[in-house]
Amino acid sequence: MRILIRLFGKYLLLSSFFVITLFNFAFAQNDNARIDSLQAVLRTIPEDTNKVNTLIELCRAQPSSDLKLILQFANEALALSQKINFPAGEAHTYFYLGYSYYAIGDMPKALESILKALSIYEKIGNTNEIGYSYNAIGLIYKSQDETKDALTFFERARSTWSKHGFKEGIALALSNLGSIYEIEQKDSLALDHYERSLKLSKEIDNKPGISNTLNAIGSIYLKKKEFTKSFEYQKEALRYAIESDNPIAQIWAYNAMSQIHLAQNQPGEGLRMAQSALKIAQRITSKVDLVDSYNQVYKSYEKLKDYPKAFEFISLYMSLNDSLKNSEDLSSMEKLKSRYELDKKESEIALLTQRHQVEIFRRNVVVITLIALLTIGFLLYNRYRLITQRKLDLKIQQLTLYTQSLVEKSEALSRVNLELEQFKSNSSNEDVHIAKIDRILQSNILTNEDWDNFKKAFEDIYPAFFSKLRYKYPDITAAELRLSALIKLNLSTKEIASMLGVLPESVKTSRYRLKKKFGLAEDESAEDFIKNLELPSIVVTSSLDKSKV
């Protein structure tokens, strides 16, 4: 995820006394001496803009895990800014609150704070900060997989910065636009945006921007399976990240190098890189980056066939990922965005109309907004339910059709085998061509490619089926896993025999052995046990490399 750093880019320039730069702002370590010094200054200065700046600096000096204290200083800064009529300080404080809520994964509150900051920046005409606010909103939506809204706000940021020739901002927006196109699988368009961003970042010697964009370009070449080229980009990205003391970019680079090692069947090195990323993510307590690191460690352990460890980390990943993305957060964010757009529209109308016209419009808008919010809530819930059910129905249909085609193929080959045997028995001389055909048919009852395709379709419906069996029964064989999958689909003994290219009696024997392995009683059946092992579901994470069954 390319989010946290770009959300809070180098934006705070409150006075000559107080300049907050990118990485100190986002990842300041707990420095007791510095905190004591700031608190001493705080006691001696009057209630003016310098005190606001000092309060925000105290927020920055706290460890990121101490949210209660951070929010205390931020709210004091906000109250003082409002009291002395210091809109820039108020906006900067809202922006910092947005970062704090983002860091703990509270996306609705993060969005609400950024929208308040944006509203003030628009009123005071602070162009660069307007661009950063648009960019931040885009990244919040991206974190919730709302790519359409993310693209809209990234484009607004790019347009705002382009009008004033702000190269650092333009490079940032181009890179974020590229990330959306990459998600939409428009890799050529994504690469074009990344390369334009990299060129601008190099022109202004922006090392954090260079590191981020090199990481993004490397990910494109990884998708193209150009592993050597991808790895060189990630090594260079890591070098810039270390030079600029950028922990988030270091996490991205280590996770990307882990992916490259896994793609080249080097799980040991993949695990080492993933653990390096996880260690940094745990140190800075960044939930969004912990999600990616847990996922990468899980993939590495699975490649190593350490299934208990893989199960541990996939559980951590799924739990944290689900907490960051839920339908209630999306609904709240839609309401906040609607409220912001509504407030902005009302301000524009106020400049063009008389007071009584505005009042009439406001009453109408309130009614429409209430209806719209109710409609949005209903549509979001209904959309989620329908899409999930459609995906499940489609996957089940695809698996059923594919399984049936495999059964029919196997039965057809069996019939040809039978006819060939009859032909051979009626032939007085041994025909070398008949022998060749026999060998071909025997070796193609069901190919490895057929099994791979079947397994992929099966795991789309039952994503945890094989891992649960491996976890509960570590000594289960590949053949027993295949038989379990076919039983799960309620295939008959004859159909299973056709698919496996064996006699029905062999299938019955294998069923009995499987029942013994599961430790079932005489009155219990392997069929009932397997059918109840996992209900159909939709896989919501990206597809994972799994060891072949």
DSSP codes, 171-193: HHHHHHHHHHHHHTT-HHHHHHH
What's the pLDDT score for residue 5? 35
Helical pair 432-443 and 355-426, crossing angle rounded to 10 deg: 150
Structure tokens at 407: 């059964």
- Cα–Cα dist 247/285, whole Å: 11
Q: Give the integer Cα–Cα distance in Å for 12 and 119.
A: 17
What is the number of H-type helices and E-type strands within the chain?
26, 2
Structure tokens at 466: 């094989």
Residue 521: both structure tokens together:
């009683």
DSSP code string of 453-468: HHHHHHHHHSTTHHHH
- The whole-angstrom separation of Cα 165 and Cα 224 is 34
* Cβ neighbours around 479 below 10 Å, total: 12
Residues 441-460: tens digit of each pLDDT: 454 445 677 777 777 878 88
DSSP string, 156-175: HHHHHHHHTT-HHHHHHHHH
DSSP code of residue 373: H
Beta bridge partners of 15: 18
Residue 499 contacts residue 424 (beta carbons within 8 Å): no
Neighbours of 440 (CB within 10 A): 10
**Burial of 441 by CB count in 10 Å (0-12 exposed, 13-18 middle, 19+ buried)?**
middle
Three-state SS annotation for 253-298 = HHHHHHHHHHHCCCHHHHHHHHHHHHHHHHHHCCHHHHHHHHHHHH
pTM of the model: 0.53
**3-state SS, residue 8:** coil
With b for 16 or more beta-carbon neighbours within 10 A and e for fewer, the 149-175 pattern comes to: bbbebbbbbbebbeeeebbbbbbbbbb
pLDDT single digits (tens) 258-301? 999 999 999 999 999 999 999 998 887 667 788 899 999 999 99
Can you tell me whether residue 9 is helix, strand or coil? coil
Q: What is the dihedral of CA 181, 182, 187, 189, to 10 degrees?
A: 30
Q: How far apart are CA 440 and CA 389, in angstroms?
A: 42
DSSP 447: -
Q: Phi, psi at residue 430, to the nearest 5°? A: -80, 125
Residues 82-124 pLDDT 10s:
999 999 999 999 998 888 788 777 888 889 999 999 999 999 9
Specify the pLDDT at position 351.
59
* Residues 103 and 70: beta-carbon distance below 8 Å: no
Q: CA torsion, points 447, 449, 452, 454, in degrees to nearest 10?
A: -70
Q: Report the pLDDT value the prediction gives residue 116, as an integer from 0 to 100.
A: 93
pLDDT at 358: 66
Distance CA 193, CA 195 (A): 6
The residues of the chain scoring below 70 in pLDDT are: 1-31, 63-65, 285-286, 324-358, 388, 390-395, 397-399, 401-402, 404-406, 408-447, 534-549
**Structure token digits, residue 84:** 């002395």
Q: Count CB atoms within 10 A of the CB of residue 208.
A: 25
Using only C-alpha atoms, what is the Rg of the chain? Answer: 30
